[in-house]
Amino acid sequence: MINPADTGIDAVMLNFSPTGLQVLNAVLAIVMFSIAIDLKPDDFKKLARSPKPLLTGLFSQFLVLPALTFCLILATTPRPSIALGLILVAACPGGNISNFITHTARGNAALSVSMTAFATVGAIILTPLNIAFWGNLYAPTRAILRETSVDPVSVAVTVGLMLVLPLVLGVTLNTKRPDITARLRGSLRYVSMGIFVLFVAIALGANWDLFLELAAGVAMLVFLHNALALGGGFAVASVMGLSDADRRAVMIETGIQNSGLGLILIFGFFNGLGGMAVVAAFWGIWHVITGIALAGLMARRQPAI
């Protein structure tokens, strides 16, 4: 048995084949494309005329959440690979399922989709920047970053090809051929999300014994981290005086992270480092549970005007 309290978790590497990684890349690109076909250039122009909710969401996503994550790490001092996993998840843009959850919660779904789009574009720079900045502030994670020699440019290229390119293609198709996107919109997102969940389940199945042994060491941290993300998003949106519907969107977008992207970065640049991979995988499960539960509660009450 691997004891997460000792240094073993920082050395454990989970198995994930290069072919599997390429398939996961493709699946996430399809998920991003399914979101992009809901967008048109006019959506971005509207936000440019009234940018406060969007800027608040991006501030919460890329500045507040990483800072809260760092405070959590300082307070709990987890193993280095677990700490870096928390930092990496916090550095990722909002998860694709956040749009569905926001809609269910009667939040501003248009804002949620736009936040996902803008955060995805911003992630090209902000994700590697946040990983490098916060990871180097904490000595134990700084050592991992130096050992793995993560190239921020390579991370940016990976994010760009996997997320931004499908976003551009989706918006372009919706602008040029809305008849095609109308036929795709109903089923593509649910099919792609189903494939993604199935694929991650298969990948976890190949490492199930290790996952169970390591999960106990990260479960409570992931619970706390997700609660901080949701609470931080709600607090920032409240302080900025956003409407109830906008506040719900910002809270959910901050609390639903793209852990699929996190897994790709972990297996692509950190060789499947155990603590990091289990954090991202556990996040991928837990944020769906909390997000759907929260949406169910919020759906009972119409947003205040």
- Interval 74-122: pLDDT, tens: 999 998 989 999 999 999 988 767 877 887 888 887 788 888 878 888 8
pLDDT at 194: 72
pLDDT at 196: 64
pLDDT at 70: 97
**Nearest residue to 248 via CA among 117, 53, 91:** 53
Decide if pLDDT at 56 tops 70: yes
Which sequence spans correspond to the domains of the chain?
16-298
Instruction: Give, to the nearest 10 degrees, the angle between helix 274-298 and helix 178-205.
Output: 130
Helices (H), the chain: 18-36, 41-49, 52-59, 65-76, 80-91, 98-104, 109-137, 139-148, 152-159, 165-176, 178-205, 208-239, 244-255, 259-269, 274-298
CB 63 within 8 A of CB 57: no
> Quick one: pLDDT band at residue 163, thresholds 50, 70, 90?
confident
- Report pTM: 0.81
Residue that has been written with the tokens 């904490």 in this structure: 138
CA 75 to chain CA centroid, nearest Å: 23
Q: How far apart (Å, rounded) are the C-alpha atoms in residues 75 and 189?
A: 39
> Quick one: pLDDT band at residue 248, thresholds 50, 70, 90?
very high
pLDDT, mean over the chain: 81
pLDDT at 117: 79
Give the CATH class of 16-298: mainly alpha
Residue that has been written with the tokens 């302080």 in this structure: 239
pLDDT at 227: 95
pLDDT at 136: 93
Task: Report in angstroms the alpha-carbon separations of 9 from 56, 60, 90, 268, 274.
Answer: 36, 30, 20, 18, 6
pLDDT at 264: 79
Both tokens of residue 72?
């959590």
pLDDT at 237: 95
Average pLDDT over residues 271-280: 80
Q: Terminal CA-to-CA distance of the chain, rounded, Å? A: 54
Q: How far apart (Å, rounded) are the C-alpha atoms in residues 257 and 90?
A: 7
> Quick one: pLDDT band at residue 195, thresholds 50, 70, 90?
low
Task: Return the DSSP state at 3.
Answer: -
Task: Return the DSSP state at 10.
Answer: G
Average pLDDT over residues 262-290: 81
Specify the range with the lowest mean pLDDT, choosing from 173-177, 210-214, 219-223, 225-229: 210-214
Share of the chain above pLDDT 70, in %: 80
CB 37 within 8 A of CB 173: yes
